[in-house]
Structure 1
Amino acid sequence: MEDYGNFYLVVVGGVILWTSAFLLTRKMFPKWSFNLCKRMVSTIHAVFAVILCSISVQDWRCPVCPLASNSSPLQMRILELSLAYFIYDLVCCWLDNNIGIDNLAHHLVSIVGIGAGLAYEMCGSEIVATLLITEISSPFLHLRELLKELGYKNTLLNLAADVSFAVIFTLARMCVGPYLCYVTMSAKNPILIKAVGMGLQLVSAFWFYKIAKVVKYKLITKSTFKTC
């Protein structure tokens, strides 16, 4: 890495930034739970990640091109800020006692993968594309929790949020995801990057299984839902 000092400065600054955003949310909405405030920050990260990742795509005819190439300066900044976010979020999950095996695996795989991409200064296209497809469904995930906390748990609005999240998650992670995993594995990428890609896809598959069960249950019991 060309400038370790700048790298650490951005990552540490990013952790402080995300932590400050969380504390500000807690102050602005004192009645909200710890978990919901954390999810609001996660939504902010997801929105910015999707926008910045989209901007960094060099050619939309081949969004993951060039494969196994040097990362652009913009890609490096995106990865540094996202690495800071995942470090912050992992600590928040631990403080909130919400650190299941699947959640821990997701965070560790993300941190190791992004860290490896920054260390190698390559695979920016693949990692940014992965960040894009993994974060694009996040706002809908957090919207579900917001509706629940505001008293709209068993409503058609909440069902719509559930279905929207499930559809976007499925298209992104179970349709585009396997293809992205395949091209990453096929290209001349470092073995660590390939292993991380496979690990993240396995986590996504496990979550897809859990989401499918929830959606199936809600569709079966939709007659008990009330209108908003």
Structure 2
Amino acid sequence: MEEYVIRIVVVGVMSWSLIFMITRRTFASYSFEFSNRLVSTLHATVAVILASLSVQHWSCPVCPVASYSSPQQMKTLAFSMSYMMYDLVCCHFDKGVGLDNAIHHLVSIVGFGAGLAYQRCGSEMVAALWITEISSPFLHLRELLKEIGFRDTDLNLAADICFATFFTLGRMVGGPYLAYVTLSAPNPFLIKVMGLGLQLVSAFWFYKIIRMMRYKLKKRSSSSDKKFS
């Protein structure tokens, strides 16, 4: 693994931790999770921008397949790996990490580590990063809105719908295609396993999101019926 990659990961973990501590002090009246979600939103936004800048051919965003990673792709993956390492530890200081979330973090960290060690599959991994993080700002926004007093409002429902839409398009439309490309290309076995694992976790979350949206819409419909009855 290149020395500059290790440096980005180490500095990144320390930087995310420092940003969290500053955020926690600034928003001391809110919960631990509130501050961590602000940090997560920052990472998701920057990660999508860096991933977009790392695409080598916009006519085929996942091309060249199974090729050596560009320096920009390596830096982008190292940046996000540092965040995943920080977040996995940080979550344990609050309510702990659910099994599905822990698996997601571990799959991501191992996947990033394998990609950085092999210095290959940069196109596929950057595409995976873009797909997985494009919905994250809306995921965190819906929870942030609840804590500042907008629970069960139209604004919160709009955030729920945006999250569900971006998640579905990214992980359940783009995700299966990317998984197929990754598995069918001559990529290292570990990269294929991580790609498949990430898609399986996404499918499980998709099931949970469908249930959540059905409940929310049914609840909203019931409230509207009572209001006009």
Aligned to 1:135: 133
Corresponding position: 1:159 with 2:157 = yes
2: CA distance, partners of 1:176 / 1:125? 14
Query: 30, 33, 39: which is aligned to 2:31?
Result: 33
Who is 2:124 aligned against?
126
In the TM superposition, 1:1-228 aligns within 5 A as: 1=1, 3=2, 5-223=3-221, 224=223
TM-score by length of 2: 0.95
Give the SS at the match of 1:154: coil
Which runs of 5 or more structure 1 residues have no equivalent in the other structure?
none
Question: For 2:8 and 2:119, how far apart are their aligned partners in 1?
Answer: 15
Deviations 1:33-87 (A, max 9, x none): 1101001000000000000100111111100000000000000111111111000
How far apart are the structure 2 equivalents of 1:98 and 1:165? 23
CA contact (8 A) 2:19 2:39 kept: yes
Structure 2: gaps spanning 5 or more residues: 225-229
How far off its partner does 1:10 sit?
1.6
> After TM superposition, what 4+ stretches of structure 1 lie above 3 angstroms from structure 2?
none
Whole-angstrom distance in 1 between the partners of 2:178 and 2:212: 26
Identity of aligned residues (%): 61
Letter in 2 for 1:103: N
Amino acid at match of 1:147: L
In 1, the alpha carbon distance for the partners of 2:4 and 2:60 equals 31
- 1:74-126 deviations in whole A, cap 9, x for unaligned? 00111111111000000011111231110000000000000000000000000
SS in 1 for 2:92: helix
Letter in 2 for 1:40: L
Within 2, Cα distance between the matches of 1:118 and 1:156? Answer: 43
Q: Structure 2: how far apart are the matches of 1:166 and 1:10?
A: 32
Which residue identity lines up with residue 203 of structure 1 in the other structure?
V
TM-score, normalisation: structure 1: 0.96
- Residue 154 of structure 2 aligns with an amino acid whose one-letter code is L
- Measure, in 1, the Cα distance between the counterparts of 2:84 and 2:92: 12
User: C-alpha distance in 2, partners of 1:99/1:29?
Assistant: 22
Distance 1:155 1:170 in 2: 23
Tell me how far apart the structure 2 counterparts of residues 26 and 140 of structure 1 sit (CA, whole Å): 21
Distance (Å, rounded) in 1 between the aligned partners of 2:32 and 2:77: 26
Secondary structure of the structure 2 residue equivalent to 1:78: helix
